């Protein structure tokens, strides 16, 4: 996301920077939905996400029902 945001900023003549002192708490809803074993049952999906395969990331994030239905089989 940060890389794409930097490119977008360059095309619009805007600066990209990092806020170092801000703290956020991320949501664990996806983890709670899929459970602990999701990562072990889907190593290819995890690999694709770490390799920044945007299609895999979008599938997991936006198509939650289909992804969770596939994993209940």
Query: Tokens 């899929």 — which residue?
Result: 34
pTM (predicted TM-score): 0.42
pLDDT score recorded for residue 26: 72
pLDDT in tens, 6-44: 899 999 999 888 778 877 777 777 777 787 788 788 888
Q: Which two tokens stand for residue 60?
A: 């997991």
Res. 70: pLDDT tops 70: no
> Quick one: CA torsion of 69, 50, 57, 27, rounded to 10 degrees?
80
């Amino acid at each position: 996301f940060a890389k794409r945001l930097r490119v977008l900023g360059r095309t619009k003549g805007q600066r990209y920077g990092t806020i170092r002192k801000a703290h956020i708490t991320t949501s664990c809803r996806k983890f709670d939905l899929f459970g602990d074993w999701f990562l072990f049952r889907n190593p290819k999906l995890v690999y694709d996400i770490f390799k920044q395969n945007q299609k895999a990331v979008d599938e997991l994030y936006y198509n939650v029902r289909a992804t969770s239905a596939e994993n209940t089989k």
